[in-house]
Chains A and B, each alone.
Chain A
């Protein structure tokens, strides 16, 4: 039963439609949760003993840090699925995750540096967590760079899938080595693994923000994957039909008629008319 669903999701038209319907279910909770978390966290929790109000940046920093790593894992999993089962949708998911994950990593680094300044007096102190994040950013940039080096999308998909899989095996080793490296010097550390160090009144808005960030990631990923599918399948018959149907997808019905016309007009000389790439 699970296999049937698995392969159904692998079909671009099916995924496109389902993703379109699911997006609001993630987007609205994301907005609500993040707003609630931010307002609660920034406005209504008491200032921390040592850091005063500066700690509040953790409401953005921690979710972004969690997500930056999770997105890499999702990217590697999707790439592996795409490579093994030759599923185009999986490759589209991996491609969409890359810049998203890189953005989360940049946010983590930025907020980490902003937090570091009042705490340590310097923007960058080679804290193990931030150093790992920096290396993760390089991994993302390498992935994106490799993709852009190939003209053929299918080859880019396969090559970057190999890189992502090697990366995901290596990331725990990299993290361990950075922690080991840092432990030799007893350097400063932003936050102990999130548990007993945080008091309950601070924990709830943090959880709201984390769930909100996940919903945001899901919503944006679905939108981006739809965009990737549109780009990759733009010559396929089902796209023209999909956009010509009234009230199709997320876009307005009036605009989709014009878009369908554009797609039908711009045909690639070598592909016979009406050939569907599924």
Chain B
């Protein structure tokens, strides 16, 4: 009962054949961990799965439908965290989260504060993002992902700039997300500490 299926994905960046026949299937409650050296195409793969970069060949299916044919439905179910946090430095944490979540659904202030507490930056709620450290900003970005309430999380180096406590936070968030029936694709070298049936590994050359 795989919800996300990728078949034979190929992508070129100029001359480079970055993605060579990637295939996988992911079911609810599973997390796909993608590892690989720098430049092996992890970020490109994640962006291609989201639909930000067009694929030369291959198809991605979400809940049985081709993603290219029903992009709105797919994007509604998708929460993406890239290298950038996807937040405006000139707004406070609360403002950022409110505006980011409002793009998808109605959200109450209480929910936002709960999410900030969950990721450990509740005391930064009224601070401009510009004035926070890189680690704190990353935590706010993680709160953003939690607030999307999307079943599929696509995370590119979620623990970047985070201290060891932050890294275990990422593992916690993933574990509870998977337990609630969500699924995730994570590009990271960090050991995710998830039990074997939940964790699927893919190494890119």
The answer to whether any beta carbons of A and B sit under 8 Å apart in the complex is: yes
Residues of B contacting A270 in the complex (Cβ-Cβ under 8 angstroms): 15-18
| Structural contact, A272 and B17, CB atoms closer than 8 A | yes
Q: Which residues of B contact A (CB under 8 A)?
A: 12-18, 20, 54, 56
Contact of B13 among A152, A235, A272, A277 (CB under 8 A): A152
User: Whose C-beta in chain B lies nearest to the C-beta of A158?
Assistant: B54
Name the interface residues of A131-187: CB closer than 8 Å to any CB of B.
151-154
Q: Which 9 A-B pairs have the closest CB atoms?
A: A271-B17, A152-B14, A270-B17, A270-B16, A268-B15, A151-B14, A152-B13, A272-B20, A153-B14
Report how far A277 CA is from B10 CA in the complex, Å: 10
Report how far A62 CA is from B17 CA in the complex, Å: 47
Residues of B contacting A152 in the complex (Cβ-Cβ under 8 angstroms): 13-14
Report how far A275 CA is from B17 CA in the complex, Å: 10
Interface residue total, chain A, C-beta cutoff 8 A: 11
Shortest Cβ distance from residue B3 to the other chain A in the assembled complex, whole angstroms:
26
Q: Which residues of A contact B (CB under 8 A)?
A: 151-154, 235, 268, 270-272, 275, 277
User: Whose C-beta in chain B lies nearest to the C-beta of A86?
Assistant: B54
Shortest Cβ distance from residue A61 to the other chain B in the assembled complex, whole angstroms:
41
A-B contact pairs, 16 of them (CB 8 A): A151-B14, A152-B13, A154-B12, A154-B54, A235-B15, A268-B15, A268-B16, A268-B17, A270-B15, A270-B16, A270-B17, A270-B18, A272-B20, A275-B17, A277-B12, A277-B56
Residues of A contacting B20 in the complex (Cβ-Cβ under 8 angstroms): 272
Residues of A contacting B18 in the complex (Cβ-Cβ under 8 angstroms): 270
User: Whose C-beta in chain B lies nearest to the C-beta of A275?
Assistant: B17
Residues of B contacting A275 in the complex (Cβ-Cβ under 8 angstroms): 17
Report how far A154 CA is from B15 CA in the complex, Å: 10
Shortest Cβ distance from residue A232 to the other chain B in the assembled complex, whole angstroms:
11
